[in-house]
């Protein structure tokens, strides 16, 4: 499949708005870091080493497509334009580090974009599985299958004491980073996030804004992930993340109920204003767009706003980024041009919903 398939469409399978607790958990991601024996890590290796690693990892995965029942497209980063790389970054299919690497590297993508294997990022191999909703076990099972396929053909760098050897000591051991991306508007509005961030950090987990840092996460989208990778088994890491995620979901639901109970009118006014802004504004900066999208998504989730698709937040957060906007515009845009084009795309996205709605009513 050509790279255009992955660039043209802002929608990936994880954005579908399905899966368990999908009104709060947007997606689940598993990442495994692995390195091969006999080659230095990407920070220290030569172009010759990079090339050999790329060839053997890519060949192994492409050969295993039957066994995995998964077709991969191999994309060599060096063959891809700067703008296209940026789009792949904005879709979370590759990292900025791989996009900017001067060495040979590639990404192997499954057609539905749920699996991406980066070769020669910070480590030789980064297996990533991205599932919609809360599916920690399912996503890990998928990553584990890929890991076993690679393990059969290649020789992993491993040490009895330290486990899987990785470039960064924060990944040593299991090399596993499990994370869930959550939409937590009510906890943010009720100013509870700081407290939650503090508590969670004491449990060996981290909370970050996935589109931003700290407690002021853009679009109220947060990522919760494990920090400890050494001295804890994969099962325990996943179980702990699952239990913390469920507790946060519970707290978010309680906060939503409390808002509805005590300030329904104010909430309703705010959410509809945001819908109005998204539908009619002519200039839209990223932070305002993110805030409005979060409001509309909350409105959908609590049953206030109908006829708008739940995937709106997932999808728009991706396509309103600079790389995507310029890809759609077909030209480079400065900041104020971007703000206008962003407003236009968001209006069109909502009008599309509106048209489908009236069409549906006519046919009834």
Partner 1 sequence: MICENCKQRPAKVTVTQVHNGEHFERHYCEVCANSLHPFYVEYKQDPLSLHQLLSNWFSQTEQQPMQQKQQKNTIACDECGWSIQRFLDEGKFGCANCYNSFRPQLPNVFKRLHNGNMKHIGKAPGALGEKIAIKKRIEAIRSQMKDAIDTESFEEAAKLRDEARDLESQLSTGGDQTDVN
Q: Per rule CB under 8 A, is residue 241 in the interface with partner 1?
A: no
Residues 36-65 within binding reach of partner 1 (CB under 8 A)? 37, 39-41, 43-45
Q: At its nearest, how many Å lie between partner 1 and the CB of residue 304?
A: 27
Smallest gap from Cβ 227 to partner 1, in A, equals 8
Dihedral sign, Cα of residue 233, residue 239, residue 243, residue 244: positive
In the complex with partner 1, the residue whose CB is nearer, 57 or 305, is 57
**Residue written as tokens 């749920």?**
114
Regarding 280 and contact with partner 1 (CB under 8 A), the answer is no
Q: What is the dihedral of CA 292, 350, 208, 93, to 10 degrees?
A: -160
Question: Would you list the DSSP string of 79-90?
Answer: GS-HHHHHHHHH
Closer Cβ to partner 1, 214 or 276, answer by number: 214
Residues in region 127-186 near partner 1 by CB under 8 A: 151, 155-170, 172-174, 176
The residue range among 57-65, 109-117, 212-220, 262-270 that interacts with partner 1, by the rule CB under 8 A, is 212-220
- Answer yes or no whether residue 218 interacts with partner 1 by CB under 8 A: yes
Q: Does 19 bind partner 1 (CB under 8 A)?
A: no
315-334 binders of partner 1 (CB under 8 A) = 321-322
Rule CB under 8 A: choose which of 54, 234, 295, 301 binds partner 1: 234
Task: Rank residues 19 and 163 by Cβ distance to partner 1 and give the closer one.
Answer: 163
Q: Do residues 117 and 57 make contact, with C-beta atoms less than 8 angstroms apart?
A: yes
Measure Cα distances from 107 to 2, 3, 210, 273 in Å.
Answer: 13, 11, 21, 41
Measured CA to CA, the distance from residue 165 to residue 227 in angstroms comes to 16
Q: Does 231 bind partner 1 (CB under 8 A)?
A: yes
Cβ partners under 8 Å of residue 200, min gap 6: 206, 207, 224, 244
Bridging pattern class, strands 163-164 and 115-119: unpaired
CB of 148 to partner 1, least distance (A): 9
Task: Please identify, using beta-carbon distances, which residue of 14 and 39 lies nearer to partner 1.
Answer: 39
Minimal distance in Å, beta carbon 106 to partner 1? 19
Euclidean distance between CA atoms 80 and 279, whole angstroms: 35
From the number of C-beta atoms within 10 Å of its C-beta (0-12, 13-18, 19+), residue 332 rates as exposed
Footprint of partner 1 (CB under 8 A): 35, 37, 39-41, 43-45, 82, 86, 89-90, 95-97, 100, 122, 151, 155-170, 172-174, 176, 204, 208-209, 211-214, 216, 218, 227-234, 286-287, 290, 321-322
């Amino acid at each position: 499949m050509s790279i255009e398939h992955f660039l043209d469409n802002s929608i990936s399978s994880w954005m579908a708005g399905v899966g368990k607790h999908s009104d709060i958990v947007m997606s689940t991601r598993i990442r495994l870091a692995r390195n091969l024996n006999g080659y230095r890590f990407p920070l220290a290796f030569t172009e010759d080493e990079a090339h050999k690693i790329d060839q053997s990892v890519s060949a192994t995965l492409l050969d295993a497509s039957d066994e995995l029942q998964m077709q991969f497209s191999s994309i060599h980063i060096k063959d891809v334009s700067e703008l296209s790389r940026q789009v792949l970054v904005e879709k979370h299919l590759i990292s900025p580090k791989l996009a900017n690497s001067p060495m040979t590297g590639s990404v192997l993508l499954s057609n539905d974009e749920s699996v991406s294997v980066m070769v020669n990022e910070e480590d030789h191999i980064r297996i990533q599985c991205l599932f919609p909703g809360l599916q920690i076990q399912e996503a890990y099972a998928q990553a584990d299958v890929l890991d076993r396929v690679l393990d059969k053909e290649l020789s992993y760098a491993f040490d009895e004491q330290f486990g899987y050897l990785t470039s960064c000591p924060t990944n040593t051991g299991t090399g596993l980073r499990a994370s869930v991306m959550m939409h937590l508007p009510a906890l943010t509005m009720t100013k509870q996030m700081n407290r939650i961030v503090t508590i969670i950090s004491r449990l060996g987990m981290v909370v970050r804004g996935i589109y931003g840092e700290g407690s002021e996460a853009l679009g109220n989208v947060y990522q919760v992930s494990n920090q400890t990778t050494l001295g804890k088994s994969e099962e325990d890491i996943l179980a702990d993340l699952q239990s913390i995620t469920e507790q946060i979901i519970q707290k978010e639901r309680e906060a939503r109920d409390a808002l509805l109970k005590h300030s329904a009118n104010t909430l309703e006014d705010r959410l509809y204003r945001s819908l109005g802004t998204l539908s009619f504004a002519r200039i839209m900066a990223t932070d305002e767009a993110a805030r409005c999208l979060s409001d509309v998504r909350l409105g959908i989730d609590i049953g206030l706003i109908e006829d708008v698709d739940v995937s709106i937040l997932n999808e728009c957060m991706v396509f309103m980024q600079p790389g995507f906007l310029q890809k759609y515009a077909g030209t480079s845009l400065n900041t104020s041009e971007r703000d206008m084009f962003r407003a236009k795309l968001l209006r069109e996205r909502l009008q599309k919903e509106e048209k489908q709605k009236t069409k549906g009513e006519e046919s009834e």
